[in-house]
A and B are shown apart, each in its own frame.
Chain A
């Protein structure tokens, strides 16, 4: 099994590359990058081959690709990979517009290649325990949720409105929306949002608060802000509180950490010892190809999550809750 990586614009590419190098029976076959300098440096650092263009990489003897380009480039690279008959693991959000997302769904379906969205949070063991609690009926009926996915301001293409399709709201809304849809088998039917740029001098939004109504009758607030300071003790958080009729459960993924207190700056850091969720994600992608089955995280999941983020921007612009058809 040979897998390549298309673009290192998204930082998650490094984590996925690590997993490719760990997985038995998988060869990290090479990378191509629109930024040749970055691509060459990364290739030599990670001990893999650098291809001069995306076309060359796709002509090589590989089974699949991981697309970690800027959000706005996902569609073009997906179309290229599908035409070359390569299976695809695509970074979130799926695209910057619903039209692009739908086109990606269609082209991969018609080409008969597998398409998996990179929503690694589904592989967080605490999240899986929450899903099991729900599936086993321990939570009861879900009444309300509160989620936060805080982070630091990432820079790069993330703060280019064209390339990213927005800022913190499009970057961080999709993880929690995907988890909620997946765990509780529900859709989002209404979105209200306050969105602003209040932390950094950048061209995109960096904070917001979404208030959601779900088709299962529950409501939720979701904070996707890049509100952690640059020297915050970890990258951010993934937090989800669920109030059910029988139980209240809080998932706070980053709590599986040591507190490390030193004598030099930054003198307080968290040392995460929890499971690597990217490992589960990439392993599943490889297994889908090996066993010739459809990925569980589909283009449709990517489109649905993007739809909520785009509705949030519309709500913030109009000042009104936005209804979604489901």
Chain B
């Protein structure tokens, strides 16, 4: 499979590294409007580079387009790729609204191409294991669930696009959509959402969100996300079940911790800890490997456009609740 990436920023760089580890898959080209990113891509990988997706499509014979541009540009790029008859992998969140996402799903269906979406948390081993344990019934029924994600500070990116709510959808759409997708995957549909955010009350760059979820099966959920800089990024969850507790805390479970001795450099600042939990194959490579297999064999990927749209719906309901101060019922549920 011949792959082209559009958007060689943070995620484009991550995906490019992953394609090197996938058999029978070749990263052929990248497209990015910034010349310095194109130069970097050519330096790091054996690829040709272009300014736009259209330029890349007209010059290269490709099977797959991997869309890693900022969220507000997802629709445009997915539709261009689909019209060109290419299978599309799109970073999460699929879209900023239900209508936008539905249009993308329709475009790919009409063109007969496979659409996969980057809800990579489903490929994180601790989350996969949690789902397996819950589904095994060993813990009985889930009563309440809590998830946490964040602490790594506000994301830096091209044109500071994360800071523009209309472009990124804020933390609710960008960050904790990972947990919405994971929880829905594990516990089923969400019926009701009530949410509070600092967005609209405080500086957007410090957004912190608390969400109350009610699932169709009765589970009460509490989802927390933050863009505050708490030293290091972290994730947590707790499934409280009628026959036990299942918990995760990434800071506790990191198998490797390195401490930058800034004191040695006489900066006077405290050292910075960098926790890691390395795996034989990282989750990004696993998600792309799965997608490439599906594209090659014409199979539906685990997280197709419709699946990703369900997570967008939960995030959009949370945004609406934040704005109106009212609980929001999901139409489907």
Please list the residues of chain A having a beta carbon within 8 angstroms of any beta carbon in chain B: 143-144, 146, 148, 150, 192, 194, 196, 198-200, 206-209, 211, 213, 217, 219-221, 223, 225, 227-229, 232, 243, 245, 248, 319-321
Q: Is there a chain A Cβ closer than 8 Å to B143's Cβ? A: yes
By the criterion of a CB under 8 Å from any partner CB, how many residues of chain B are at the interface?
33
Q: Is there a chain A Cβ closer than 8 Å to B52's Cβ? A: no
Complex contacts, A208 vs chain B, CB 8 Å: 220
Interface residues of B in 185-209 (CB under 8 A from A): 192, 194, 196, 198, 201-202, 206, 208
11 contacts across the A-B interface (CB closer than 8 A)? A148-B146, A192-B327, A198-B144, A199-B242, A207-B240, A221-B196, A221-B212, A227-B245, A228-B240, A243-B208, A243-B228
B212 & A198 in contact (Cβ 8 Å cutoff): no
**Given A198-B141, A207-B240, A225-B144, 10 further pairs, Cβ under 8 A:** A146-B222, A146-B224, A192-B212, A196-B220, A198-B143, A206-B143, A209-B144, A211-B196, A225-B143, A243-B226
B327 & A223 in contact (Cβ 8 Å cutoff): no
Q: Is there a chain A Cβ closer than 8 Å to B210's Cβ? A: yes
Known: A211-B196, A217-B201, A321-B325. A227 touches B240 (CB 8 A): yes
Complex contacts, A248 vs chain B, CB 8 Å: 228, 230
B201 & A196 in contact (Cβ 8 Å cutoff): no
Complex contacts, B230 vs chain A, CB 8 Å: 248
With beta carbons under 8 angstroms apart, the residue of A144, A148, A245, A319 that contacts B196 is A144
With beta carbons under 8 angstroms apart, the residue of A148, A196, A211, A245 that contacts B194 is A211
Complex contacts, B212 vs chain A, CB 8 Å: 192, 194, 209, 211, 221
Report how far A277 CA is from B245 CA in the complex, Å: 27
Q: Is there a chain A Cβ closer than 8 Å to B218's Cβ? A: yes
Complex contacts, B220 vs chain A, CB 8 Å: 194, 196, 198, 207-209
A209 & B245 in contact (Cβ 8 Å cutoff): no
Q: Is there a chain A Cβ closer than 8 Å to B219's Cβ? A: yes
How would residues 209 to 229 of chain B score, 1 for a CB under 8 Å from any chain A CB and 0 otherwise?
Answer: 010101000111110101010
Q: How many A-B residue pairs have CB under 8 A?
A: 92
With beta carbons under 8 angstroms apart, the residue of B143, B196, B206, B208 that contacts A199 is B143
Report how far A319 CA is from B326 CA in the complex, Å: 9
B228 & A144 in contact (Cβ 8 Å cutoff): no
Instruction: Tell me how far the C-beta of B208 lies from the nearest C-beta in chain A, rounded to whole angstroms.
Output: 6
How would residues 151 to 193 of chain B score, 1 for a CB under 8 Å from any chain A CB and 0 otherwise?
Answer: 0000000000000000000000000000000000000000010
Known: A194-B220, A209-B220, A219-B210. A200 touches B242 (CB 8 A): yes
Instruction: Tell me how far the C-beta of A235 lies from the nearest C-beta in chain B, rounded to whole angstroms.
Output: 14
With beta carbons under 8 angstroms apart, the residue of B196, B226, B242, B326 that contacts A198 is B242
Instruction: Tell me how far the C-beta of B79 lies from the nearest C-beta in chain A, rounded to whole angstroms.
Output: 38
A144 & B208 in contact (Cβ 8 Å cutoff): yes
Chain B minimum-CB-distance residue to A233: B245
Complex contacts, B240 vs chain A, CB 8 Å: 150, 199, 207, 225, 227-228
Chain A minimum-CB-distance residue to B140: A199
Instruction: Tell me how far the C-beta of B247 lies from the nearest C-beta in chain A, rounded to whole angstroms.
Output: 11
Complex contacts, B194 vs chain A, CB 8 Å: 192, 194, 211, 321
6 tightest A-B contacts by CB? A198-B143, A227-B240, A219-B196, A221-B210, A199-B242, A199-B143
Report how far A196 CA is from B198 CA in the complex, Å: 28
Known: A211-B196, A227-B144. A320 touches B327 (CB 8 A): yes
Instruction: Tell me how far the C-beta of B59 lies from the nearest C-beta in chain A, rounded to whole angstroms.
Output: 50
Report how far A219 CA is from B141 CA in the complex, Å: 30
Complex contacts, A245 vs chain B, CB 8 Å: 202
Report how far A196 CA is from B143 CA in the complex, Å: 9
Report how far A211 CA is from B195 CA in the complex, Å: 8
Complex contacts, B201 vs chain A, CB 8 Å: 143, 217
A221 & B325 in contact (Cβ 8 Å cutoff): no
With beta carbons under 8 angstroms apart, the residue of A143, A192, A220, A223 that contacts B146 is A223
Q: Is there a chain A Cβ closer than 8 Å to B137's Cβ? A: no
Complex contacts, B218 vs chain A, CB 8 Å: 196, 198
Chain A minimum-CB-distance residue to B223: A221
B143 & A227 in contact (Cβ 8 Å cutoff): yes
Chain B minimum-CB-distance residue to A201: B242
B243 & A229 in contact (Cβ 8 Å cutoff): yes
A229 & B244 in contact (Cβ 8 Å cutoff): yes
